[in-house]
A and B are shown apart, each in its own frame.
Chain A
Amino acid sequence: LAKTTQPISMDSYEGQEVNITCSHNNIATNDYITWYQQFPSQGPRFIIQGYKTKVTNEVASLFIPADRKSSTLSLPRVSLSDTAVYYCLVGAQDSNYQLIWGAGTKLIIKP
């Protein structure tokens, strides 16, 4: 099963670019990398997903190096409302299919 490792917490300031890196050394060939955001008292919300190289959408970018053993979520020009927990997931399919959720990265944005 592919396990991910992320920093427990990060701080930044409004207007800065924030990069959160996730390591997944035993990612499988067919695995995708997906990031979710969770605010207090809410369920996680899908942010972005990728397989290789770079993916960009309206809220974030995802950078994946050629070996795919890590990935970086990039949040441009963060605001206070980006304060949340961010989860990196790698698709893990076996006889009992399930995704493995780590503890996530608690991102705190300061004024």
Chain B
Amino acid sequence: DAGITQSPRHKVTETGTPVTLRCHQTENHRYMYWYRQDPGHGLRLIHYSYGVKDTDKGEVSDGYSVSRSKTEDFLLTLESATSSQTSVYFCAISESTGGHEKLFFGSGTQLSVL
């Protein structure tokens, strides 16, 4: 399996608190992604990165920010968590892009915002 580690695996927090999720890869892949998965919605892209300090918004980026200071780490921050951000968050990596990349996913972070 691809070397992708997400932390924490589970988190419970309160509305209005900041939360940071971490994705760490050992594959030296250029592209990294944050997705959220909710029942009935499949996976939705939050943000992605195409290199160190190069990031862009996805389909559902409102309320989220990201940072990538090193190739191996991609952080997702919820500045002020809301109950609508309760979800399972997946990090993914790929070597290439252009519609035919192979995505490798982490095990996910279950986030509950109370």
Contact = CB atoms under 8 A, between A and B. Distances in A.
B78 interface: no
Given A101-B43, A103-B40, A43 B99 contact: no
Range for the number of chain A residues in contact with chain B: 20 to 34
Nearest to B42: A101
Interface string A83-98: 0000100111100111
A96 B56 contact: yes
B50 to A, nearest CB: 9
B90 A103 contact: no
Interface string B82-114: 000000001010000111101111111000000
Interface string A3-35: 000000000000000000000000000111010
Given A98-B45, A103-B40, 14 more contacts: A30-B98, A34-B100, A36-B103, A42-B107, A43-B107, A44-B103, A49-B102, A91-B98, A91-B99, A93-B99, A98-B58, A99-B103, A101-B42, A102-B42
Interface of A: 30-32, 34, 36, 41-46, 49, 51, 87, 90-93, 96-99, 101-104
Interface of B: 35, 40-45, 48, 56-59, 90, 92, 97-100, 102-108
